[in-house]
Amino acid sequence: MPSKSPPSFGSQEYWDARFSSNAEPFEWLGAPTALDASIVDALRIASEDRPQFLHIGSGTSLLSFHLRLHVEDASQIHNLDYSEVAVTLGQKRERGIAGVDPRLKDGQAPTYMRWDAVNLLDHNSLLHACSRTAYSLIIDKSTSDAISCADDIYIPRPFPISVDPYSPTDLDSTSIAEAIHPLYILAVNLALVAKPRARWITLSYSNDRFPFLNASSCSSAEHEVVPSPATLWQLVEKSEVDNANQQPVEEAEATTVTHRPKVFNWLYILERTDVPLFLRGDHI
């Protein structure tokens, strides 16, 4: 019997099919409350009165709706997903619950979160939905895990995003495209829309989710083609998180009770540096 192939987490078709076949809420790794302490801490250092949240890979998680408890206005939350199906489901679910917000005064119309279907690995797609240097918090519950499973992205030289405001605009069509790891591209693209000192809060199953923060671990092609994420993001915290959903398992004869081994996830908090990013041609 042939082995079952792994899910195509980098495929938009996979996610559309998954959410079309099962529209019920699904949580990756932890409950919607799993990142609360880190969010509260990030809000404490945010300089603006109405910080903007970017929730990447919202899927069918109830985290989108839980985030509303952290803001005064639902429009401060911007949910992004690769799948248009997931975005539509989220919008419908929100319209079903927005009117019962206990914070609404009599006669007050509800406000809604923003929702967009976006390819996070395409800066044009991201900027079509998001403004540059707009977000103070980026919320990521296992989305980086899914993106890490995608194939490398072939990037032509020169990359359209640069740390040099006067970088040349003439793209050499004869240059050879370089294979870049998708997380490397994700980090650069998110840096384009994050404010200086913005927090990127990630829950991951991996204890080495962002190796690019160590510049020596990156390939020469990545160093030469794409701005280094190690100059755009710094690691503020990395900690082990006990999976609170652990439950005892009873044997068939009910003579003993065994426990599943502890499962630990990892919390990463990255902070955007002050290094600016530019699109080639910004100076023209």
Here the CATH number for the domain that contains residue 65 is 3.40.50.150
pLDDT at 159: 86
Residue 214 located in a structural domain: yes
Number of domains in the chain: 1
pLDDT at 109: 77
Structure tokens at 202: 């990630």
Q: Please identify every stretch of the chain with a pLDDT value under 50, giving residue numbers as ranges.
A: 1, 246-259
Q: 151 with 10: CB under 8 angstroms?
A: yes
Residue 284 located in a structural domain: no
pLDDT one-digit tens code per residue, 231-260: 999 999 999 998 755 433 333 344 444 445
Residue 2 located in a structural domain: no
pLDDT at 251: 37
pLDDT at 85: 97
Residue 145 located in a structural domain: yes
Residue 200 located in a structural domain: yes
pLDDT at 247: 38
Q: What pTM was estimated for this model as a whole?
A: 0.87
Residue 20 located in a structural domain: no
pLDDT at 176: 74
What are phi and psi for residue 163, nearest 5 degrees?
Answer: -90, -5
Instruction: Please give the Cα distance from 81 to 58 (Å, whole number).
Output: 6
pLDDT at 197: 97
Please name which of 180, 147, 165, 148 lies closest in space to residue 284, comparing C-alpha atoms. 165
Q: 79 with 57: CB under 8 angstroms?
A: no
- For residue 283, give the 3-state DSSP assignment: coil
pLDDT at 108: 72
Residue 75 located in a structural domain: yes
pLDDT at 238: 96
Residue 81 located in a structural domain: yes
Give the domain range for residue 256: 28-100+109-279
